[in-house]
Amino acid sequence: MSIIRLSVLEEGVYAPDHRGVIVDAGRSFTTRAGRDRRGEGRMPLNPRDSLPEEGGPLDTYLSRSLAVEAEALPDGAPVVVLVHGFQFDPASGFFPPYHRKADNPHCRLYHFVGADDADMPGNDLPTQMRAHSTSWPLGLGIAAEDGGEAGLAIGFGWDSDPGILESLFGHVLNPYAVAYRSADEIAAWQLVTLIEALTRLLPGRSIDLFCHSLGSRVAVRALAQAADEALPETLRPRLSRAVEAVGRVVVLAGAEYVKEARLMMRRLNAGREGRLGQPRRFERTPDFFNAVSRENDVLDVLGENFGPVHPGSRQVIGHNGLEARDPSWVDIQLDDPDVARWFAEPDRGHDVSGDNESGVFTVADHWIHYTWPGNMALWREILRERERWEIAEMKETAPGLFNRVRLNRRPGAD
């Protein structure tokens, strides 16, 4: 289906079946199972100071999957890793191939059912917006059964739904704080190992990241960890190639703290420029397209009130942007009317929105970054028409729009 699925739980990394179902959580990875014998089962988590063995289970699963899902992948087609946010459980069951109430991200987001699919009653656009279950692969232009001819998606599932009782009694934290910590301590390094493996198995290709909400924590910490100078010297060549392979990072309603994003950027820039007497580690580093909305009430409640306390700043990148100017980072404030008008000009022709004007409940502003068709069309183009969407040109063309985030709330509202 032009998608490779991976699921990260506390006890291991799973190759699920073709739907995203973990068939037998107790079974170790084996190539005797799985469609096309690409393999299924549990692989070990990789500690932060290690990378998986080349030719090991992860390489085997990915290489066998690539032989099917990327058989027709042309030069220049996007290879994009999808990283969901809070309250998803990749170990949960579902009704394949799609269900708008599923907790499993492979069923809720990483599916190939469009809003106009006649075989799925009630799956119209308003329903998808209410359930925030819009297909990410289809939205980014990836086809269901074309061998990767229109691009390849890698659905990265991670356990971001720890439950209230488990959180309070097992961790003495609220569920959001537990998920925030898990994004760093478990999921982020597994994302690093995935990118590193893809870099070796798809040499010369850019690997893009597409993340929403708390998924931004996974992506930001993954890149910050990969660029950490404190990691063993033996890992650096492989990690440097992995960082250099990441082309573009699209962040929607990012729940990561500004402080952590700026730490990541300092590490990436230092590695690219060779600061503080350190040799240059990276020939290039990723470009970040950060979608911001001041109307995002969910981030008000969760990210800024239920996350762990961070001295100095509790602001999140989905509200405030990076709070710094960097040539590799652009903040796109979707609910700024001037930004919307700029994108709607004839030479660009994009209908973006950071506030849902169609009547779907207000908190949908947190998911409208991908449920609104015009927004998804922009992200699709940013990943596919790269020369048209360069950060430097955007900032030069409209410096007043992309060099600041306005603190307006409810523009034009009563």
* pLDDT one-digit tens code per residue, 171-189: 557 889 899 999 999 999 9
Q: 411 falls in which pLDDT band (50, 70, 90)?
A: very low
pLDDT of residue 131: 87
The string of pLDDT tens digits covering residues 293-350 is 987 878 877 777 777 766 656 789 999 999 999 999 999 999 899 999 999 999 999 9
Residues in CB range of 6: below 8 A, 6 or more apart: 13, 14, 15, 16, 154, 155, 156, 157, 194
- Going by C-alpha positions, the residue among 209, 239, 210 that lies closest to residue 226 is 239
pLDDT of residue 52: 93
315's tokens = 């602001």
pLDDT of residue 301: 73
Look over the chain and give the mean of its residue pLDDT values, rounded to a whole number: 89
Q: Strand order of the sheet with strand 79-83?
A: 41-43, 12-15, 3-9, 152-158, 79-83, 207-212, 246-252, 287-292, 329-333
Q: Beta strand 12-15 with 3-9: parallel, antiparallel or unpaired?
A: antiparallel
Q: 277 falls in which pLDDT band (50, 70, 90)?
A: low
| DSSP-derived 3-state class of residue 209 | strand
pLDDT at position 410 over 70 = no
Beta pairing partners, 152: 79
User: In angstroms, rounded to a whole number, what is the distance separating the alpha carbons of residues 226 and 388?
Assistant: 29
The string of pLDDT tens digits covering residues 22-67 is 988 889 999 988 888 899 999 999 999 899 999 999 999 999 999 9
The string of pLDDT tens digits covering residues 349-397 is 999 998 755 544 455 679 999 999 999 999 999 999 999 999 999 999 9
- Going by C-alpha positions, the residue among 231, 265, 6, 218 that lies closest to residue 110 is 6
Mean pLDDT of 150-154: 98
**Which burial class, exposed, middle or buried, applies to 47 when counting CB atoms under 10 A from its CB (0-12, 13-18, 19+)?**
exposed
Q: 406 falls in which pLDDT band (50, 70, 90)?
A: confident
pLDDT of residue 360: 46
Instruction: Kindly provide the residue ranges of all beta strands, DSSP E only, lying in 72-151, ordered along the sequence.
Output: 79-83
The string of pLDDT tens digits covering residues 70-111 is 999 999 999 999 999 999 999 998 767 788 889 999 999 999
306's tokens = 């239920």
pLDDT of residue 311: 60
Alpha-carbon torsion angle 137, 130, 6, 241, nearest 10: 60
pLDDT of residue 122: 65
Give the number of other Cβ atoms within 10 Å of residue 146's Cβ.
Answer: 15
**Which burial class, exposed, middle or buried, applies to 363 when counting CB atoms under 10 A from its CB (0-12, 13-18, 19+)?**
middle
pLDDT of residue 278: 72
pLDDT of residue 359: 47
CA angle (86, 91, 94) in 5-degree steps: 90
